[in-house]
Amino acid sequence: MAARSFETSIAALLACLGLMLGAGAATAAQEPQEIVGQITTVIGQGAIRNPAGALQSVARGDRIRAGDQIETAAGGHVHIRFVDGGLVSVRPLSRLLIESYTNGGANTQAAIKFRLEEGVVRSVTGEWGEASRDRFRLNTPIAAIGVKGTDFIVKVEGGNTFASVISGAIVMAPLAGGCASTLGPCLTDQAATLNADMSGQMLEYLQKNGSGAPRLVPAVDLLARNGIADALAESRRGEVSTVDARDKMRTSDSQASNVLDEGRVNARTLPLIWLHNTMGWNVSENTISERYDEALQAGRTLVASNFFVSLYRDESQLKTFQPIGSQANFQLSSYSATFTQPIAYDRPSENVQISNASLQADFARSTFTTGMTLKSPSLGEDNFKASGTITDRGLLVSSSAGQTVAGAFSTDGLQAGYSFEKQLSNGTVNGLTLWGR
């Protein structure tokens, strides 16, 4: 009896220890991964799906960890700044998994690995990727893209993969065999290289190629509107929008801090903003500008003005103009415009609709081009096109017969804003714009 009692006690003790160890292992498994980045910009609807599959709406300032997947709805944009200064822009209708983002050191190697399931992303390499170019990889369902320190765009649509390079170089190969588990360029016989000097070309790898290889083809704008089927767009929109909007209001001590990892990630950079005089003189009712006394002006610097309306930017973190990338395409994020006819016509001003808007910046050559379609009842339809120079402060300057453009880029070159005026035979169009990559 005594022996049996002793054996029973030992078994109970071992079982208890097993439960304790199991609980400890479970707790360790549930501990969140190290923070690797932070959301800096959210336009429209987006969400973060954690490794457990839980989905929460995304807001500016949210932390990003390895294993998180960023998802965007139709019209949604999410920008991420990583701890080493790397930048990623997740475009509408996209799903990007952050598989790993770690630094190299005495005992560990750098490991940066993304997986784009669908949609479009633009990535600008940070310090870790630049220092370990053989350890940076972006995979798609069919392609392995090794990144050699660069600014590049990847698009996954209809099971196919497309990639273009703004600066630096990439290597694309079929995601097969050992390529699936490695990092960096997959240097097989089927690999193809694209660098910024190969202007007018991009890489294409089609699902139907099977055992074929990626090929160089004439470049197209991969940041243009995603062509994924409408049914997919609707399903993605519903999935993201079902997240409780109250999640965006969640706060905690950790979220209240806007600085990560000794300030390497900072969410305090404020967007460009138009401000107008407190009396509203010569300001249209549909203006996107805000009153001076109602807007948070702290930390912003006046960069462009027409006396009635002024553009302010944040120079608290980066005081000089240091644009990311040598070239950039921008999308119109907000605008207001009016068509005013001469007093003799005795007609009220009309709101002007803008479509087909574009803004391209060549920071290396200090030039820009922009254009849009203008439309209102009395105006009808008219095209506005302009080109000009970018000053060393990041100001946009353009003036020609009958029209002007005046504005500025943010100091990192990720945002832009300008006012424009076009004089016509039957009136004048004036407008304000804000743009983002």
Mean pLDDT throughout 308-332?
87
Contact (CB, 8 A) for 204 and 215:
yes
List pLDDT tens digits, range 95-135: 999 999 988 654 556 788 999 999 999 998 888 877 777 78
- The verdict on residue 234 lying in a domain is yes
Question: What is residue 391's predicted lDDT score, i.e. its pLDDT?
Answer: 94
pLDDT beyond 70 at 387 = yes
Residue at 7 is within a domain? no
Q: Is the pLDDT of residue 261 over 70?
A: no
**H or E element, residue 234:** helix 230-241
- Looking at 43-47, 227-231, 387-391, which range is the least confident one? 227-231
Cα(106)–Cα(426) distance, rounded to whole angstroms? 71
- 436, exposed or middle or buried, with CB in 10 Å at 0-12, 13-18, 19+? buried
Instruction: Tell me if 274 sits within 8 A of 305, measured CB to CB.
Output: no
pLDDT score, position 354: 95
CA nearest to 330, candidates 40, 9, 79, 45? 79
Q: Is 245 helix (H, G, I), strand (E, B) or coil?
A: helix
Give yes or no for a contact between 150 and 170, defined as CB atoms under 8 angstroms apart.
yes
Instruction: Return phi, psi of residue 199, to 5°.
Output: -65, 145
Over 90: is that where the pLDDT of 423 sits?
Answer: yes
Q: What is the CATH number of the domain that holds 208?
A: 2.60.120.1440
Query: To which H or E segment does residue 413 belong?
Result: none
Q: How many helices (H) and strands (E) does the chain have?
A: 4, 32
Q: How far apart are CA 289 and CA 311, in angstroms?
A: 9
Same domain, 344 and 299: yes
Q: Does residue 252 lie in a domain region?
A: no
State whether 158 and 42 are in the same domain: yes
Q: Do 157 and 278 sit in the same domain of this protein?
A: no
Q: Does residue 355 share a domain with residue 216?
A: no
Pairing relationship of beta strands 415-424 and 169-174 according to DSSP bridges: unpaired
Same structural domain, 86 and 149: yes
Residues 318 and 428 placed together within one structural domain of the fold: yes
Q: What pLDDT, on a 0 to 100 scale, did the predictor assign at position 140? A: 94
Task: Compute the Cα dihedral for 244, 248, 252, 255 and give only its sign.
Answer: positive
Q: Are residues 197 and 298 in the same domain?
A: no
Q: How many domains does the chain have?
A: 2
- Same domain? For 141 and 234 the reply is yes
In a domain, 38, yes or no: yes
What is the arithmetic mean of pLDDT over 158-164? 91
Question: Do 399 and 389 touch, CB atoms closer than 8 A?
Answer: no
Would you state the pLDDT for residue 262?
A: 32
9 occurs within a structural domain: no
CA distance 151 to 164: 9
Q: What is the mean pLDDT of residues 44-67?
A: 90
258, part of any domain: no
Question: Is the model's pLDDT at 90 over the cut of 60?
Answer: yes
Are 178 and 316 contained in the same domain?
no
Same domain (yes/no): 275, 181 = no
pLDDT for position 350:
92
Query: What whole-number distance in Å separates Cα of residue 247 and Cα of residue 202?
Result: 40
Residue 318 counted as domain residue: yes
Alpha carbons within 13 A on the beta-carbon side of 343: 0
Q: What percent of the chain has pLDDT over 70?
A: 76
Residue 207 pLDDT more than 60? yes
pLDDT digit string, tens, across residues 212-246:
788 898 888 887 654 433 333 333 334 443 333 33
Segment 170-193, tens digit of pLDDT:
999 998 877 877 887 887 788 889
Asked whether residue 26 is assigned to any structural domain, the reply reads: no
Averaged over 377-392, what is the pLDDT? Answer: 94
Q: Taking all residues of the chain, what is their mean pLDDT, rounded to a whole number?
A: 78
CA 382 to centroid of chain Cα atoms:
31
pLDDT band at 349 (very low <50, low <70, confident <90, very high): confident
Same domain for 235 and 331 = no
Specify the higher pLDDT residue, 51 or 308: 51
CATH of the domain at 381: 2.40.160
Enclosing domain of residue 428: 269-436
pLDDT at residue 27 tops 60: no
Contact yes or no for 368/399 (Cβ under 8 A): no
Q: What share of the chain in percent tops pLDDT 90?
A: 37
Q: How many CB atoms lie within 10 A of CB 89?
A: 22
Q: Are residues 181 and 282 in the same domain?
A: no
The predicted structure's pLDDT at residue 17: 39
Residue 421's pLDDT band (cuts 50, 70, 90): very high
Instruction: Evaluate if residue 405 carries a pLDDT over 70.
Output: yes
In this predicted structure, the answer to whether residue 273 has a pLDDT above a threshold of 60 is: yes
